[in-house]
């Protein structure tokens, strides 16, 4: 099953076209609603070589979706000042779309392609903490300007373990970098035991390494959202993002009643708005903003989600 099939019929929309197709108006009110001073951040954006993928089909001009070049232009078109670019996963063919060929350094690929965009693209390295060289590699990447780490236990086939990978987590905590972890049920590329990536495993990591800012992607989806809430309530440095959770077409859709309950309990101070680029369109952005508005997320609360919370946690870590 391909990822876009797994995402419950999600249209690739604007991001699926070339930049020629991306020259469209920004979503209404995003610039007016977002935080001032260049602090709108498009969070949770995958980058990868798109040649040979469905994103290359029918494209005859301009950078392909998934490339740092396309991401920089696409995020600007939607009214964001910066974007968080995740390096491609270093996994075998058939494991996912957002990957690099075997033997290729995904973080190095992203660095080379993103260099021209400077601070517009904030780089996160997609790493597997079980690999022996991961901790030393993390040190080097931090020295080269990487601002965080992404884990996807299902795609990379590992389990979350606070004890086994203590050298990696200890390094991450010392460096003060945030960690983004996939938490939604994921079966798009083969089964992986739920016990290997259940959010309560993150509770153990957060408890043992309390200085690591941990962001739980997709808020766990409907299946795990209450467990994610429990982790956020238990740890001051725990956050979650809303990536692909605000509309029923998404695989990780969280019903309105659940979100009303979650926001009632924890407010908006530790919530990030994410997009899962390039599986994201201008129409998705507009619809998500309307959904947030209907939940009463506007003004200062919306500012937090659109960038202030992310920049706050990274600035606090670097300080």
Both structure tokens of 24: 């469209």
Both structure tokens of 128: 């597997």
Report the chain's mean pLDDT, rounded to a whole number.
88
- What is the per-residue pLDDT for 4? 38
Task: Domains for the chain: give ranges and CATH numbers.
Answer: 3-318 (3.20.20.140)
pLDDT digits (tens, 9 = 90+) for 181-205: 999 998 776 679 999 999 999 999 9
Measure the CA angle with vertex 214, ends 287 and 4; round to 5°.
40
pLDDT digits (tens, 9 = 90+) for 145-185: 999 999 999 999 999 999 999 999 999 999 999 999 999 99
280 Ramachandran zone, left/alpha/beta (phi>0; psi -120 to 50): beta
pLDDT digits (tens, 9 = 90+) for 50-88: 887 888 775 666 789 999 999 999 999 999 999 999 999
Instruction: Tell me which residue of 57, 127, 118, 140 sits closest to 86, measured CA to CA.
Output: 127
- For residues 113 and 188, give the distance between their C-alpha atoms in angstroms, rounded to a whole number: 28
**What letter would DSSP give residue 188?**
B
Instruction: Tell me which residue of 166, 232, 208, 212 sits closest to 314, measured CA to CA.
Output: 212
| E strand or H helix at 316 | helix 309-318
């Amino acid at each position: 099953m391909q990822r876009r099939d797994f995402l419950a019929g999600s249209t690739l929309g604007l991001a699926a076209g070339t930049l020629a197709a991306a020259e469209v108006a920004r979503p209404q009110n995003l610039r007016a609603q977002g935080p001032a001073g260049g602090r709108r951040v498009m969070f949770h954006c995958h980058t990868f070589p798109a040649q040979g993928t469905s994103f290359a089909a029918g494209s005859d001009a301009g950078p392909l979706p998934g490339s740092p070049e396309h991401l920089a232009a696409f995020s600007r078109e939607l009214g964001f000042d910066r974007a968080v670019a995740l390096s491609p996963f270093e996994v075998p063919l058939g494991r996912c779309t957002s990957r690099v060929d075997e033997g290729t350094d995904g973080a190095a690929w992203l660095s080379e392609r993103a260099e021209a965009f400077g601070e517009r693209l904030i780089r996160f390295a997609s790493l597997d903490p079980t690999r022996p060289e991961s901790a030393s590699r993390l040190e080097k990447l931090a020295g080269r300007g990487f601002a965080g780490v992404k884990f996807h236990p299902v795609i990379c086939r590992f389990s979350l373990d606070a004890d086994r990978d203590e050298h990696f987590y200890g390094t991450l905590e010392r460096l003060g970098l945030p960690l983004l972890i996939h938490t939604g049920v994921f079966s798009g590329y083969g089964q992986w035991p739920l016990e290997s990536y259940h959010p309560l495993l993150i509770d153990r990591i957060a408890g043992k390494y309390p200085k690591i800012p941990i962001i739980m992607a997709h808020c766990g989806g409907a299946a795990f959202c209450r467990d994610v809430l429990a982790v956020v309530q238990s740890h001051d440095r725990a956050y979650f993002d809303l990536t692909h959770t605000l509309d029923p077409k998404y695989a990780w859709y969280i019903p309105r009643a659940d979100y009303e309950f979650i926001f009632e309990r924890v407010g908006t101070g530790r919530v990030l708005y994410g997009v899962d680029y390039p599986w994201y369109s201008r129409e998705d952005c507009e619809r998500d903003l309307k959904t947030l508005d209907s939940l009463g997320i506007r003004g200062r609360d919306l500012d937090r989600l659109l960038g202030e919370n992310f920049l706050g946690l990274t600035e606090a870590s670097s300080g």
